[in-house]
Amino acid sequence: MTRAFPEDFLFGVATAAYQIEGAAFEDGRTASIWDAFARVPGAVLNADNGDVACDHYHRYPQDVALMKDLGLQVYRFSTSWSRVRPDGGPVNPAGIDFYSRLVDELLEADIMPWLTLHHWDMPQALEEKGGWTSRDTVDRFVEYALSVHDALGDRVQHWTTLNEPWCSSFLSYTAGAHAPGRYGVGDGMLAAHHLLLSHGRTVQALRERAPELSQGITLNLTVADAADPADPADVDAARRIDGQFNRWFLDPIFRGSYPADIVEDFRAVDPDAVARWEDAVQPGDLEAISTPLDALGVNYYHGEMLSGHPQGTGGTPHDGGDLARPVGNPFPSHEGIHWVERGLPRTGMDWEVQPEGLTRLLVRVAEEYAPGVALYVTENGAAYDDAVGEDGVVHDADRLAFLQAHLGASLDAIEQGVDLHGYFYWSLMDNYEWSWGYEKRFGIVRVDYDTLERTVKDSGAEYARIIAARAL
């Protein structure tokens, strides 16, 4: 049976500046927190860094041509703060010019540019002044956002403030797994608040200037199932994960308040951290954070099953890497939470493959949080141990099946009434997978890191067929 997508449904792919651009110190760009973190011994697998990455900075015309060949309608990319405003200082014309050329190239190829302002790579000089734990960073971010808009506002219609603030706060400032590698409960809470405030202030500033833009944020959301829905300890474990991962961001953005139960969970672990955070949340902040949005981007990779009883299977899917440097728990109130092995297939990240979780997640978000807001799956994808066949092509049947299944799950959500407008696969090509370095490959296009040659994988060819047919 063929299943058609709605006429206005957009098919795309996503990438992020630090993960693909390379040219890390060219044309005036200075260090971001990821350039610095990649150099901390043990922080990134194989000590990989983004100095060269996919060399997209120099090869973007070829990459845009490749996207055109695949029939992609949308390209979601991020701008590098350190390129546009090195060290968080004045605008660097050569840096912003790169994005201007990229946008022109995309428009010429009939591909819609979808711009994300923050995909984790803040200038290292700002981190040295406190980074996201400092309220000053919010003003620096709004300045940066406005300067990107000055240059590209005439050609870019879709604006995303932040990518996955959970990662750039709790995973980065509490668990130490991502740059800048800090380890405090209070630091994570402050970072999350200042990130959200930057989001809200930017939406307000851009809306005042250009009400016609479509503005949104991208969150990484999970589906936290209780192992036994009749067991109060399991239900509580699921509540805590859902609360800190999903509701900590959805509630302030769509309801103008932080979830009270999670605040109390934090207080039980670290009352001083909560006191610092309460001082940091100032009058007017939540009004700014809850400025109405045009779009919400949902990044979905995996679900999880939680129990309040020891299971002996251990491992959280949220640790960000297999590292020499210690990784703390990103969930300060995680005590007594156990992740349950429920026998689902797993990707090369050890994440469960659970497409129906995407359907449930979209239905829930649409109903509980964002009625009237256009939803997009702004990331979904899988890493696998790819092997290059004798014909030089990666025959990635597992990734191809993952893609089909999640596109099917997206259609299921639409059939259940969700206002879903697009799906962007993560990622266009293999790239720098943060603390996993180049070891994990998510691309529908293979990158040979010796020659930097790109080769479409079977999953990429299949995506092109689906897009051409606009059906599964």
Q: What are the residues binding ligand BGC (CB under 6 A)?
A: 16, 19, 163-164, 167, 171, 220, 299, 301, 317-318, 320, 379, 426, 433, 442
Render 324-343 in DSSP notation, one character per residue.
Answer: SS----S-TT-TT-EE----
- DSSP string of 42-81? TSSGGG--SSSTT-HHHHHHHHHHHHHHHT--EEEEE--H
Nearest to 443 by CA among 412, 399, 389: 399
Three-state DSSP class for 456? Answer: strand
Contact 380, 325 (CB under 8 A): no
Structure tokens at 151: 């240059």
| Counts of helices then strands in the chain (DSSP H, E) | 17, 13
CB of 303 to ligand BGC, least distance (A): 10
Nearest approach, Cβ of residue 45 and ligand BGC (Å)? 12
Closest of 154, 161, 255 to residue 203, by C-alpha: 161
Least spacing, CB of residue 177 vs ligand BGC, in Å: 7
Q: Which of 164, 379, 433, 462 is the catalytic position?
A: 379
Query: How many whole angstroms separate alpha carbon 6 and alpha carbon 417?
Result: 12
Residue 171 or 444 having the CB closest to ligand BGC: 171
Q: What is residue 387's three-state secondary structure? A: coil
With respect to ligand BGC, which residue has the nearer C-beta, 149 or 440?
440
Q: What is the DSSP string of 238-267?
A: HHHHIIIIIIHHHHHHHHSS--HHHHHHHH
Give the total residue count for the chain.
Answer: 472
Nearer to ligand BGC, 10 or 16 (CB): 16
Give yes or no: 164 in active site. no
Residue placing its CB nearer to ligand BGC in the complex, 286 or 353: 353
Task: Please give the span between the terminal C-alpha atoms of the chain, in angstroms, as a whole number.
Answer: 8
Say if strands 158-163 and 374-379 run parallel, antiparallel, or are unpaired: unpaired
Least CB distance from residue 56 to ligand BGC, whole Å? 14
Nearer to ligand BGC, 277 or 432 (CB): 432
Strand order across the 338-339 sheet = 224-226, 304-307, 338-339
Candidates 449, 396, 450; CA nearest to 425 is 396
Nearer to ligand BGC, 20 or 151 (CB): 20
The nearest distance, CB 139 to ligand BGC, in angstroms, is 25
Residue closest to 207 by CA, chosen among 251, 250, 281, 149: 149
Q: CA 225 to CA 147: how far, in whole Å?
A: 42
Exposure b/e, 313-343, CB count within 10 A at least 16 = b: eeebbbbbbebeeebbbbbbbbeebbbbeee
Select 147 or 198, whichever has its Cβ closest to ligand BGC. Answer: 198
Closer CB to ligand BGC, residue 124 or residue 160? 160
CB of 449 to ligand BGC, least distance (A): 16
Coil/strand/helix, residue 390: coil
The least CB distance from residue 318 to ligand BGC, in Å, is 4
The whole-angstrom distance between residue 14's C-alpha and the CA centroid of its chain comes to 9
Closest distance of CB 40 from ligand BGC, Å: 17
According to DSSP, residue 6 is labeled P
Active-site amino acid positions? 379
